[in-house]
């Protein structure tokens, strides 16, 4: 692991300039909305559905994304805070995290890499990697109660890395979450559907262990995590820049240029997210291995999750199993359920 510890905070002036710009943008968009008034409301109400939002609303979201990229080109920095301001992050969303996944049983699949064959980490079929889980907890769909899968608890701890206490702790966390949400409709993969970007069996690429990932420069970041549900939390993160991973394992060129997007998926394919290359290469986009100065917990996405402070929480995928470079705008779990693809802040 590298000793180099870099603080990814932007300088205070850059942050100030950025907030001034954002304020101007709010004015502009607010003004447009106010001026448009009744006509816009009719247009929205009468427009057909597009991914569960009326297409007019969808167009507005897409327009906002265009403005966002044109004005900021994803270069704006999210504000940073001191470590003393950081608080523990709540647990919010456990799609794809039903089992405990020790780091030894994990690999990062990378697809679309240039000259993959000449890499020592080359795999002729990255999908053949079998994630080795240590424990299983299964939500009972009927009452949102959680029970350990029978027969599984005695098989806990095959590696010694995760003991049954960790499994029980995760079960308790998930149970608390389900209780808190029991009045809401449960939306899982069954609803979002399988991602169109799921890799075909036989896709070549790289399989990286955590040891390899840890050779990239370590970065610390204290930023605000914002969930679209209306809460936020100043959180301390540690890990490596996604940008550094992309530079270390660069994508195969498409028509002589870099592909436009990065796609990520949790190991079982239940949760997935897409990012444009600018957001992926943003200096604050972090592949997280530590939270609050401690190793990342299972329920927060261990062994590896994404923090991307320029985007809402639903883009910050937990437990990354796959990173794929692609030139087609990738599928996104919450976009399929109606949220904006760009999710920019």
Ligand X SMILES: Nc1nc2c(c(=O)[nH]1)N[C@H]1C(S)=C(S)[C@@H](COP(=O)(O)O)O[C@H]1N2
Q: Between residue 119 and residue 138, which ones bind ligand X under the rule CB under 6 A?
A: none
Q: Do residues 311 and 36 make contact, with C-beta atoms less than 8 angstroms apart?
A: no
Radius of gyration of the chain (CA): 21
Q: How far is CA 76 from the centre of its chain?
A: 19
Q: Out of ligand X, Mo ion, none, which partner does residue 91 contact, by CB within 5 to 8 A per kind?
A: ligand X
173 binds ligand X (CB under 6 A): no
Q: Which residues pair with 237 in a beta bridge?
A: 221, 291
Q: Do residues 318 and 97 make contact, with C-beta atoms less than 8 angstroms apart?
A: yes
Q: Between residue 62 and residue 101, which ones bind Mo ion under the rule CB under 5 A?
A: none
User: Site for ligand X (CB under 6 A): which residue of 203, 319, 325, 341?
Assistant: 319
321 binds Mo ion (CB under 5 A): no
Q: Out of ligand X, Mo ion, none, which partner does residue 139 contact, by CB within 5 to 8 A per kind?
A: none
Query: In 3D, which of 280, 248, 223, 221 has the Cα closest to residue 74?
Result: 280
Sign of the alpha-carbon torsion through 28, 30, 35, 38: positive
CB of 83 to ligand X, least distance (A): 18
CB of 183 to ligand X, least distance (A): 17
- Compare residues 158 and 188 and give the one whose CB is closer to ligand X: 188
Which is it for strands 261-265 and 286-291: parallel, antiparallel or unpaired? unpaired
- Compare residues 155 and 229 and give the one whose CB is closer to ligand X: 229
Binding characters for Mo ion, 205-244, by CB under 5 A (x = yes): ----------------------x-----------------
345 binds Mo ion (CB under 5 A): no
User: Site for Mo ion (CB under 5 A): which residue of 237, 249, 271, 314?
Assistant: 314
Q: Which span sits near ligand X by CB under 6 A: 1-9, 73-81, 93-101, 254-262?
A: 93-101
95 binds ligand X (CB under 6 A): yes
CB of 61 to Mo ion, least distance (A): 16
The SS3 call for residue 340 is coil
Q: How many residues bind ligand X (CB under 6 A)?
A: 19
Q: Which residues pair with 219 in a beta bridge?
A: 6, 239
87 binds ligand X (CB under 6 A): no
Q: Out of Mo ion, ligand X, none, which partner does residue 304 contact, by CB within 5 to 8 A per kind?
A: none
97 binds ligand X (CB under 6 A): yes
String of DSSP letters for 91-134: P---TT-SEE--GGG--EEEESBTTGGGSTTEES-GGG-----S
Q: Out of ligand X, Mo ion, none, which partner does residue 15 contact, by CB within 5 to 8 A per kind?
A: none
String of DSSP letters for 162-216: S-HHHHHHHHHHHHHHHHHTTTSPP--HHHH---TTPPPTT--EEEE-HHHHTTS
Contacting positions for ligand X (CB under 6 A): 89-97, 227, 266, 271, 300, 313-314, 316-319
């Amino acid at each position: 692991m590298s000793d180099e510890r870099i603080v990814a905070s932007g300088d205070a002036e850059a942050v100030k300039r950025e907030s001034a710009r954002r304020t101007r943008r709010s004015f502009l968009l607010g003004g447009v909305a106010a001026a448009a008034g009744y006509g816009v409301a009719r247009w929205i109400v009468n427009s057909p559905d597009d991914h569960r939002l009326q297409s007019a609303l969808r167009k507005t979201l897409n327009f906002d994304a265009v403005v966002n990229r044109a004005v900021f080109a994803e270069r704006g920095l999210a504000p940073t805070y001191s470590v003393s301001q950081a608080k523990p992050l709540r647990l919010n969303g456990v799609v794809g995290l039903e089992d405990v996944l020790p780091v030894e049983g994990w690999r990062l699949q990378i697809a679309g890499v240039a000259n993959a064959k000449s890499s020592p980490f080359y795999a002729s079929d990255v999908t053949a990697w079998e994630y080795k889980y240590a424990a299983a907890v299964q939500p009972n769909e009927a009452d949102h109660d959680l029970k350990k899968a029978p027969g599984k608890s005695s098989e806990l701890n095959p590696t010694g890395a995760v003991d049954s206490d960790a499994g029980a702790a995760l079960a308790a966390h998930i149970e608390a979450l389900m209780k808190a949400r029991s009045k809401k409709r449960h939306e899982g993969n069954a609803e979002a559907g399988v991602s169109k970007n799921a890799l075909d069996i036989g896709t070549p690429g790289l399989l990286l262990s955590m040891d390899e990932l840890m050779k990239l420069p370590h970065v610390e970041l204290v930023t605000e995590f914002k969930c679209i549900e209306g809460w936020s939390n100043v959180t301390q993160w540690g890990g490596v820049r996604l940008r550094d991973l992309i530079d270390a394992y660069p994508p195969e060129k498409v028509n002589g240029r870099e592909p436009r997007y990065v796609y990520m998926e949790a190991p079982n394919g239940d949760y997935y997210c897409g990012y444009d290359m600018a957001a992926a290469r943003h200096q604050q986009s972090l592949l997280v291995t530590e939270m609050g100065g401690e190793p990342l917990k299972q329920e927060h996405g261990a062994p590896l999750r994404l923090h991307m402070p320029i985007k809402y929480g639903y883009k910050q995928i937990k437990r990354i199993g796959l990173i794929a470079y692609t030139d087609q705008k990738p599928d996104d779990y919450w976009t399929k359920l109606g949220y904006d693809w760009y999710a920019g802040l």
